[in-house]
Structure 1
Amino acid sequence: MEKPYILHMLTTEKNLSPFDANMAIDAGWVSVIPYTNVETNEVQGLVQDAIFSRGPKGVKRTALFIGGRDTEQAMAMLSIAQESMVPPFEISAFADPSGAFTTAAGMVASVEHELINKHNSSLEGCNILVFGGTGPVGQAAAVLSAKAGANVTIVGRQLEKSQRIAKMVNEMFGDAKTNIQGDADANKEELMKTADAVYATAAAGIQVLDAGQIANAPQLKVAADVNAVPPSGIAGLDAMHNGTPIPGSNSGATGVGA
């Protein structure tokens, strides 16, 4: 009898995200096993219990998912998981804290598509502002965009925190090839004067740009919002926007919704 497909799902939080569980089951995993309140020093033991109990053939039907809310911690746990495997006892492992990496990848790809197909442009040399960028989605979107050649600024409520997060992602994920900057919401009017694209990655229900700020952005080409909870993160842009013009934009900007 073939061994069933088992996905072990680790999180540092007290509950596994229902979103992550739904995605796993809908993707076809037969058994989804949650592990909550996981400490970093517990990862090695959990991984080795998972790999050595199924044999070289069984590990091919076994995988590890690392969730949680903290990007840095999730990546540290993923690194430990990889180091804990002993060939041929190796399983696929994937980290996606807060769904940040997959969400950011989809958003950046959609914006790049808009730039290429609607604005005869690309991410290379593009000035991008990541509002609410100190969180996991914003961090991932900033890194992906910067690695594609964009000039990226993480914008948050606190200047010190934005600059600290920018420094952290440059060092951890930038491979010395990124120069992501950090700035504050208080300066958004000035920042919008040279923005080609903006990402709204703040918490659900928080609007980061109003109609006036969109109207007064002279070179804005694309705006993307991952927020599906009203009010929209960017005025005039809703969850169903799929490359259509943003009402009130004087630069002809198009929008990408959640």
Structure 2
Amino acid sequence: MAPPRILHMMTPLKHMSPFDVNMALDAGYDDAITYTNVTIDDVYGLIQDAIFSRSPEGIKRQGAFIGGKRAIEALDMMDRAKKAMVPPFEISVFADPAGSFTTAAAMVACAKKALQEKFDTDLEGKRVVVFGGTGVVAFASAVIASTGGAKSVLVGYDGPERVRRLTMEANDRFEANLGYADGTTEEQKSELAESADVIFSAGPAGRQILSLAQIKPAKDLKVVADVNAVPPLGIEGVGIKDKGTPIDGTGAVGIGALAIGDVKYKTEAGLFKEMIEADKPVYLDFRAAYRLAQDLVS
């Protein structure tokens, strides 16, 4: 009888996300063991405890998941996990802090599809303005869009310094070319919206980021995507179920939270299944999520 499929789920937070636990079990893992308040220094020992408990063949039936709420921290934990492997004692690792990598991948993939289908273009050279810039979904979506050739701009809401630091960190780590801007005032947000080809709204749930009046003057605006599913929605004029739906009074189309969420759900499930089915260990982060999300929407 084959040993159970075990997923070791690590987070620096007090609790592991129940959403991710459910997703892992539904994808095919038999057991999901959670480890909370995990530091980067803890990861090495936890991974080695896991990999040396089974034969090289039996080890294929386990993996590791990294959660949390910070993109860079999750990626650093993944790097530490890689260093703990001793081939052939090696397992797959999937990082998705706060579901941000799969959510961001789904949002960018949906926007790219809308650009292709509605405007016969893509992300190359487009000015992508990302509101909620100090949040993990905004951060990840800006980086992902930049990999497609977009000129991403992260917009903060409490002055320029915090969003500037995040941008510099992203540029250094991923060789990206992100810009940043302060969107503390309504006037600043209006100016940023007016300059955009694509707008991503990834701010706090239940908070309107932009009104319809603020996006109507944007002459080059083509796609607006909003991940907020809690009223009031992030962008006025973009419905929760919109999927490339024209926005009244503009030349743009909207993509709502449920359309993005459907792709996000399938992306996360698909990456868990990819770990389960892989013949060799895989390491999955926002890049893998975006690859799969594009396949799912095409």
Structure 1 length-normalised TM: 0.95
* C-alpha deviation, 1:192, in angstroms: 2.0
Show the counterpart of 2:291.
none
Q: What amino acid sits opposite 1:122 in the alignment? A: D
* C-alpha deviation, 1:209, in angstroms: 0.7
Show the counterpart of 2:82.
82
Q: Which whole-Å CA distance do the structure 1 matches of 2:238 and 2:23 have between them?
A: 26
Q: Kindly provide the CA deviation profile for residues 97-130 of structure 1, in whole angstroms up to 9, marking residues without a partner as x.
A: 1111111111100000000110122100101100
User: How is 1:85-96 mapped onto 2 (pairs within 5 angstroms)?
Assistant: 85-96=85-96
1:24 is paired with a residue of what secondary structure?
Answer: helix
Q: What amino acid sits opposite 1:46 in the alignment? A: L
Equivalent pair of 1:164/1:182 in contact (CA under 8 Å):
no
Q: Which whole-Å CA distance do the structure 2 matches of 1:238 and 1:162 have between them?
A: 28
Residue 182 (structure 1) aligned to one of 165, 171, 180? 180
Q: Which whole-Å CA distance do the structure 1 matches of 2:93 and 2:213 have between them?
A: 45
User: How is 1:206-245 mapped onto 2 (pairs within 5 angstroms)?
Assistant: 206-245=207-246
Q: Which whole-Å CA distance do the structure 1 matches of 2:50 and 2:229 have between them?
A: 36
Q: Which whole-Å CA distance do the structure 2 matches of 1:225 and 1:27 have between them?
A: 27
Tell me, yes or no, if structure 1 residue 163 matches structure 2 residue 161.
Answer: no
Show the counterpart of 2:261.
none
Q: What amino acid sits opposite 1:197 in the alignment? A: V
Q: Which whole-Å CA distance do the structure 2 matches of 1:22 and 1:230 have between them?
A: 25
Q: What amino acid sits opposite 1:255 in the alignment? A: G
Q: What amino acid sits opposite 2:239 in the alignment? A: D
* C-alpha deviation, 1:147, in angstroms: 1.4
Show the counterpart of 1:141.
141
Q: Which whole-Å CA distance do the structure 1 matches of 2:23 and 2:228 have between them?
A: 18
Q: What amino acid sits opposite 2:3 in the alignment? A: K
Equivalent pair of 1:228/1:238 in contact (CA under 8 Å):
no
Q: What amino acid sits opposite 1:90 in the alignment? A: E
Q: Which whole-Å CA distance do the structure 1 matches of 2:161 and 2:48 have between them?
A: 40
Q: Kindly provide the CA deviation profile for residues 70-110 of structure 1, in whole angstroms up to 9, marking residues without a partner as x.
A: 11111111000001000000100011111111111111000
Q: Percent same amino acid at aligned positions?
A: 49
Equivalent pair of 1:170/1:180 in contact (CA under 8 Å):
yes
Aligned residues: 253
* C-alpha deviation, 1:197, in angstroms: 0.4
Equivalent pair of 2:152/2:177 in contact (CA under 8 Å):
yes
**Residue segments in structure 2 that go unaligned for 5+ positions in a row:** 258-298
Equivalent pair of 1:225/1:234 in contact (CA under 8 Å):
yes
RMSD: 1.0
Q: What amino acid sits opposite 1:141 in the alignment? A: S
Q: Which whole-Å CA distance do the structure 1 matches of 2:240 and 2:63 have between them?
A: 32
2:228 is paired with a residue of what secondary structure?
Answer: coil
1:56 is paired with a residue of what secondary structure?
Answer: coil
Show the counterpart of 1:125.
125
| Structure with the higher fraction of residues in helix conformation | 2
2:56 is paired with a residue of what secondary structure?
Answer: helix
Structure 2 length-normalised TM: 0.83
Q: Which whole-Å CA distance do the structure 2 matches of 1:150 and 1:122 have between them?
A: 9
Q: What amino acid sits opposite 2:75 in the alignment? A: M
Higher relative contact order structure (alpha carbons within 8 Å, sequence separation ≥ 6): 2
Q: Which whole-Å CA distance do the structure 1 matches of 2:191 and 2:225 have between them?
A: 19
Tell me, yes or no, if structure 1 residue 101 matches structure 2 residue 101.
Answer: yes
Show the counterpart of 1:255.
254
* C-alpha deviation, 1:140, in angstroms: 0.8
* C-alpha deviation, 1:194, in angstroms: 2.0
